[in-house]
Amino acid sequence: MSAPLAYAAEKQIAIAAVRRACVLTASVFNKLVKQETLVKGDKSPVTVGDYSAQAVVNTILGRTFPQDPIVGEEDAADLRQESGNTLKDRIVQLANETLNAPLLAGEKEEWGLGPSQGQTAEQLLDAIDRGNYAGGRTGRFWTLDPIDGTKGFLRGDQYAVCLALIVDARVELGVMGCPNLPVTASDPSGPRGCLFVAVRGQGAYQLPLADPFGALPGTRLQIPPTTPERLNFLESVEEGHAKLSFNDRVAQILGVTRPPTRMDSQAKYCSLARGDGAVYLRMPVGSGYREKIWDHASGAVLVEEAGGIITDGRGEPLDFGLGRTLGENYGVVAAGKDIHAKVIAAVKQAKAEEESPKL
């Protein structure tokens, strides 16, 4: 008998956790009311969906991998205040509805899913706070963005539930659930809901979000050659998240003729991996913002396993061993092997122009 593939158990549980979280976020979206969103210290929004998705994923991970720390975006501090009571009650209700829901296709009872898996409010707040791990250079931990692209989620556009396993600063497994992403980009009004999985050394795959286990191993993704017709940029919707004017100049240097595709969240990495767009470019707006590991870890391994390259804006590898952030922000460039070095060169040229503008 051949040895089981590396991270087989982690992959299964991560897929199950992300799918349950997606069921939750998709149903929350339809019921969300204004009072169910908070503005965090950094001015970004967080909804009952973000908190309860983090509670669900961390609870599911904790049952099978109780020793594994988690670097998660959200924490329960605001929910532990008197003023957070209404929000907390709603989160407990939503998380328990999701954890207690009957087994979905392909799920196993031994994963701790299904009826009577409900948790107390205290257990759920503690589950959210299991995401407070500091990260670091050595050892194994998960990183979770329960809703990546919260602004997209609130608009009804793209967002993703993103979970990755990092071992000794290397991303080994990435799972992303994209409830609003069309199954094929060529049919934008067709069926939606995709799940993306990559294990290092085992390839990148797309699965249907509604029944990922029934479709394993899924459709293998390989970034196609970057022909001039295919050459376009994938970039943020939000002007405050990336310097979009800089992207325009880099695109001009590269001779890009197609307009950029603007999309929230790591769904951009998924689109790149399956060839919907050719270059992911994200340069800092200069506000001192540090990129977070949960915003790039799962996308990074997906792009690499689809045959692409991901680096910072200087061409250096992203460092997932620095803690909760990627450190000083030099931006992110992800693209196919045939074009990545050209993008880095164009970024360098555009930066040089910025620093010494022609009079």
Q: Which is nearer to ligand A2P, 12 or 54 (CB)?
A: 54
Indicate the residue whose CB is closest to Mg ion: 148
Nearer to ligand A2P, 199 or 297 (CB): 297
Q: Is 236 in the site for ligand A2P (CB under 6 A)?
A: yes
Site for Mg ion in 172-211 (CB under 5 A): none
- CB nearer Mg ion, residue 113 or residue 171: 171
Kindly state the tokens that stand for 278.
């050719």
* Interaction between residue 331 and ligand A2P (CB under 6 A): no
Shortest gap between Cβ of 149 and Mg ion (angstroms)?
6
According to the binding rule CB under 6 A, does residue 243 interact with ligand A2P? no
Known binding-site residue numbers: 73, 145, 147-148, 295
User: From the CB of 167, what's the least distance to ligand A2P, in Å?
Assistant: 23
Site for Mg ion contains 295 (CB under 5 A):
yes
Residue of 298, 315, 318, 314 whose CA lies nearest to 306: 298
From the list 230, 286, 287, the residue with the least C-alpha distance to 261 is 230
- What is the distance between the alpha carbons of residues 78 and 119, in angstroms, rounded to a whole number? 19
Query: CA-CA distance, 97 to 56, in Å (whole number)?
Result: 10
Identify residues 132-161 at the interface with ligand A2P (CB under 6 A): 145, 148-150
Q: Is position 44 an interface residue for ligand A2P (rule: CB under 6 A)?
A: yes
Q: Are strands 219-221 and 45-47 parallel, antiparallel or unpaired?
A: unpaired
Is 148 or 172 the residue whose CB approaches ligand A2P more closely?
A: 148
CB 7 within 8 A of CB 199: yes
Q: How far is the CB of 158 from ligand A2P (least distance, A)?
A: 8
Region binding Mg ion by CB under 5 A among candidate stretches 72-80, 186-194, 313-321, 338-346 = 72-80
Cα-Cα-Cα-Cα dihedral sign, residues 324, 133, 280, 198: positive
Could you list the active site residues? 50, 150
- Give the footprint of Mg ion on residues 310-349 (CB under 5 A): none
Tell me the one-letter amino acid at 245.
S
Q: In the complex, what is the shortest distance from the CB of residue 345 to Mg ion, in angstroms, rounded to a whole number?
A: 29
Query: In the window 226-285, what residues touch Mg ion (CB under 5 A)?
Result: none
Total residues contacting ligand A2P (rule CB under 6 A)? 16
Q: Which of 315, 289, 294, 352 shows the shortest CA–CA distance to 18?
A: 294
User: Over the Cα atoms of the chain, what is R_g?
Assistant: 20
Q: Mutual orientation of helices 8-31 and 48-64 as an angle, nearest 10°?
A: 160
Could you tell me the CA-to-CA distances from 87 to 100, 123, 161, 289, 330 in Å, in that order? Answer: 20, 16, 21, 28, 36
Residue nearest to ligand A2P (CB): 236
Nearer to ligand A2P, 107 or 235 (CB): 235
The owner of tokens 């977070």 is: 292
Binding-site annotation: residue ranges for Mg(2+): 73, 145, 147-148, 295
The interface partner of residue 236, options being ligand A2P, Mg ion, none and the CB cut-off 5 to 8 Å by kind, is: ligand A2P
CB of 287 to ligand A2P, least distance (A): 6
Alpha helices in 133-239 (DSSP H): 150-155
> Cis link prior to 357 (omega < 30° from 0)?
no
The 262-291 contact track toward ligand A2P, x by CB under 6 A, reads: --xx---------------------x-x--
Buried b (16+ CB within 10 A) or exposed e, 323-349: bbbbeebbbbbbbbebbbebbbebbee
Q: Which is nearer to Mg ion, 44 or 100 (CB)?
A: 44
Which amino acid is present at 358?
Answer: K
Among the listed residues 10, 36, 73, 264, the single contact to Mg ion using CB under 5 A = 73
Q: Does 238 bind ligand A2P (CB under 6 A)?
A: yes
How many helices (H) and strands (E) the chain has is answered by 9, 14
Binding site for ligand A2P (CB under 6 A): 44, 73, 145, 148-150, 236-238, 240-241, 264-265, 287, 289, 295
Residues binding Mg ion (CB under 5 A):
44, 73, 145, 147-148, 150, 295
